[in-house]
Chains A and B, each alone.
Chain A
Amino acid sequence: MGWFLEANFILIGIITILMAFGTLSTKKVMRAAAFLLLTLVGVALTYLFLGFEFLMGIQITVYAGGILILFLFSVLLTGHEEFKMDLEFAKENIVQILISILLFFTLTALMLSIYGNYQLTGNELVLQAQTKGLTQDFSVALFSHFNYVLPILGVLLFSAMLGSVKLVLREEEL
């Protein structure tokens, strides 16, 4: 089923790129947010093709469900005017375009130099996901090599959470 997976991958890639373009080019902020949501879901599906299913779940939960909502709240609760895209070229635009083209080719060259010899076919993608057990490897590494880091991070985050609760409680007293 290699061709099937590849066709799906190409389809999802094209949709994701189109949505990313929509995010940048639309005039309304809320529409941009909707496009961004679809872009994030598309990227999550790309992870799935690599066998990173855990990463896919986290990507959708954290970015689509958490960060995007923060964006929306901050955008809608603060005053904003609908911005317009001006497609007239100025000198700065040319520099920007040049820089982005340069960046694109650099990144492509970098990726080709690293992954150039390795051609992924659909069957290999599936095999990789089935045999390697990426999620398990990841968690084993996390809880064996980094087992001191996790509790410290947990305490740090917990203290931040307690601090925010404390802040909320103090506001009430004032």
Chain B
Amino acid sequence: MSSPQEFFGNIADLIRGIPRDIILLLNRLPYVHLDPENDVRGVIVILMTAILAIYGLTNLLLAPWLERKVMARMMGRRGPVYVGKFGLLQLIADIFKLISKEDTMPMTADKFGFNLAIFMMGIATIMSFAPIPWARGVVGANMDIGLLYVFAVFSVFPPAMLLGGWASNSKYSLIGGFRAAAQLVAYEIPMMLSILGVLIFSGSLNLMTIVEEQYSNGWYVYRAFPGLFIAFVIFLFASLAETERTPFDIPEAEGELVMGPRTEFSGWRYAIILMVEYIHMYVNVILVIVLFLGGWDVIPVIHGVNYPEFLWMIKDNRLIQFLAFNVKIYIGVFFVTWVRVSFPRFRIDQFIEWGWKTLLPLSFIALGIVVVYAGLLVA
């Protein structure tokens, strides 16, 4: 029986070994000359991304269940109870129901845009899993531009939403699409600005480097106090707005717009949109954790406090890191649900104003504090 650390090492070796064998096999074919050391890298990236994305997606089956349960408890209900133990299989039942439904499309819809919007959103969300570090060294693609990559992938959403809303050829969808695009654009700027403070400390866009820096010098929530804490709160609310969670679910305000840009999508298309929404929320929670709450780090380092040896052993254990990351994600999902139950929906004008007139100046102030702090550190 190997230790947990070795267990993860063995898995990594296995993943590296399989593509090498495939390449060695391919080399037996005529006219194929591959280098097993260098050419193996791309295959590893694809395999690791696929494995971690599948892990993330299976985890994702639990997130909506947790959300429903927590929501129900907070409202004095019981939530899903019939399908499976504690209603655990409710989401799978829902998915089967949605897939088995008749595939309908409005007669006047623009077929090209109607289909393209779904595929664009679906592909973009799954691609966003690639650079996320789940434990030390456990990552799909170790990119130097990891953070920028995630935001680049997410920036495909506003045009896709608008396209989907327009292609449905319904006024509710179009208005919803507009609202979604305006909201995503308005909240992307404070989000980006609040990240700048983190980048000053980490000096890298690589998500692994960002987490390693927090591992050795402390989490970003409490560093450069209160600069990065303000940035953390701004990033949290901006990411809630980005994912259209309830205080900010203006694009799909069901009292006004039926379902917003998603109104005309039904059956498997709706299943994909539902999945996209949850993955978007999930990845945003992960981003908050990676950027501000230490990623897979278990025990935050405090400047000037010496930890005993066994605490460092806990910090260095990859299995504990992996589990800690997952626990943090579920706490994040719980928090998001809590916010959803507690606050009523904003009005569209209040909301856009809040973004441009409150969050944007605040994020500038936070950035200023961080810059001054970093300057003092250097001096």
Q: How far in angstroms is the closest Cβ of chain A from B302?
A: 32
B356 touches A65 (CB 8 A): no
Q: Considering the chains assembled together, what is the distance between the CA atoms of A41 and B127 in angstroms?
A: 14
Given contacts A30-B166, A57-B152, A135-B145, contact A37 B159 (CB under 8 A): yes
* Total chain B interface residues with beta-carbon distance under 8 A: 37
A1 touches B158 (CB 8 A): no
- Which B residues touch A61, using CB under 8 A? 148, 151-152, 155
- Which B residues touch A54, using CB under 8 A? 144-145, 148
Q: How far in angstroms is the closest Cβ of chain B from A170?
A: 13
B42 at the interface (CB under 8 A from A): yes
A34 touches B112 (CB 8 A): yes
B212 at the interface (CB under 8 A from A): no
A58 touches B148 (CB 8 A): yes
Interface set, chain A 98-151, CB cutoff 8 A to B: 126, 135
- Which A residues touch B167, using CB under 8 A? 30
B188 touches A76 (CB 8 A): no
Q: Considering the chains assembled together, what is the distance between the CA atoms of A37 and B163 in angstroms?
A: 11
A30 touches B152 (CB 8 A): no
- Which B residues touch A58, using CB under 8 A? 148, 152
Q: How far in angstroms is the closest Cβ of chain A from B275?
A: 22
For residue A136, which residue of chain B has the nearest CB? B144
A1 touches B34 (CB 8 A): yes
Q: How far in angstroms is the closest Cβ of chain A from B159?
A: 5
Q: How far in angstroms is the closest Cβ of chain B from A75?
A: 10
A to B CB contacts below 8 Å, 14 in the list: A1-B38, A30-B163, A34-B163, A60-B156, A61-B155, A64-B155, A65-B152, A69-B185, A73-B178, A73-B181, A73-B182, A76-B174, A126-B38, A165-B361
Q: Which residues from chain A sit less than 8 Å from chain B, CB to CB?
A: 1, 28, 30-31, 33-34, 37, 41, 44, 53-54, 56-58, 60-61, 64-66, 68-69, 72-73, 76, 126, 135, 165, 168-169
